[in-house]
Amino acid sequence: MREGSHDKRMDNKKIIPVVFATDDNYVVPTYLAAYSMLKNLSEDYVARMYVMIPGTLTVEGRKILLSLESIGNCKVELLNMENEFSNIKMRISYISCATYYRLLLAEYLKQFPKCVYLDSDIIVNCNVADLYNLNLEENYLAGVVATEPTFPEKSDDEKKKYAEMLQVKSVDKYINAGILVMNLETIRRDNMCEAFMALIKKNYPFQDQDILNAACYGKILFLPRKYNVGPLKRNEKAEATFSKEHRDEIEVAYAHPAIVHYAQPQKPWLSRSFPMASYWWKYYDAIDPKFREEYLDEFIRKNRKNAIKVRIKHSKLVMGTWQMLKKIKKNH
């Protein structure tokens, strides 16, 4: 089921299909990610924004997402995924089944040859048209080689075992799936959606990301680091082994990130002091204060409160484990 409208004033502009996937927990981050993207989109383009949502998304959540149209240069359409993937056991606590929605994009957007897919926990500082206009040739995807979870930190034996699990030759070019350009035409032609779905039963550690890397291996175009810059601590030991060209690319990416991706559990909305959180708050503070107060500020308060509860629960668990170990040691 699709929700949205049509504006003839945008018919003469170049269309870029941009896709997000979200649920009630990520409506506000999705709004801000899309807001930052639209603020940097060149005027001769219009974003056809598709937001893949579960059937349970609240009326208020839908209203917030559809309100993105008031920014201009975009049309928003909500793709109701109903209960798709709701029976999948999630292996990462802060990620929901909405992450799997991207696996079906080629079937949902049959009118487009390709699209840009963006995670909700990002900030876009660039013109996303530059990504969309890339020549994908015969590749299924374009993405940035992952640094978090960082394979360079793993031993050669660990990397070999992970590659064997995914049934690929190597994980040295394993990509992060948070920012993708997807060749929908080629994915449809080669029936790759079926291949994606068949791999779900593998229950990989990094779930849909592992599926995309396994199924699309050998047909992935690698994007410059600047298009997926994470705020986690850099691995200086691993970087020392890189070529000068690669090290220079990393320096430029961190100095001028085109897209910041907060892929770690410590999300920027929990604290302004978190690494690279200033990019997120720059856009949040630019939103109309009345809109923030009515729709967004409560999300910030609620998430910070929940984060405190999680930290307390974790502290109690650690303390309880420590006390148990002391008791065991004493008895022996």
Query: What is the domain-level CATH number for residue 61?
Result: 3.90.550.10
Lowest mean pLDDT, pick from 127-131, 187-191, 327-331:
327-331
**Which ranges of the chain would DSSP assign to H, the alpha helix?**
27-39, 59-66, 105-108, 129-132, 156-166, 184-189, 192-199, 207-215, 236-239, 244-255, 277-286, 289-291, 297-331
Which has more pLDDT, 276 or 148?
Answer: 276
Residue 326 placed within a domain: no
**Residue 71 sits in which domain range?**
2-287
Q: Tell me whether residue 299 is in a domain.
A: no
- Is residue 254 domain-resident? yes
Average pLDDT over residues 293-303: 91
In a domain, 297, yes or no: no
Whether 109 maps to a domain, the answer reads: yes
For the ranges 105-114, 237-246, 292-301, 312-321, which has the lowest average pLDDT? 312-321
In a domain, 75, yes or no: yes
- Provide the number of structural domains found in the chain: 1
Residue 120: inside a domain:
yes
Mean pLDDT of 34-44: 97
Q: Which of 178-182, 278-282, 316-320 has the lowest mean pLDDT?
A: 316-320
pTM over 0.75: yes
Instruction: Kindly write down the DSSP assignment for every residue of 245-277, as one continuous string.
Output: HHHHHHHHHHHS-SEEE--SSS-GGG-TTSTTH
Q: What is the pLDDT of residues 226-281, one digit of tens each?
A: 999 988 766 666 666 667 877 788 888 999 999 999 988 889 999 999 999 999 99
Does residue 314 lie in a domain region? Answer: no
Contact status, residue 118 vs residue 178, Cβ threshold 8 Å: yes
Task: Look up tokens 């896709």; give the residue.
Answer: 19
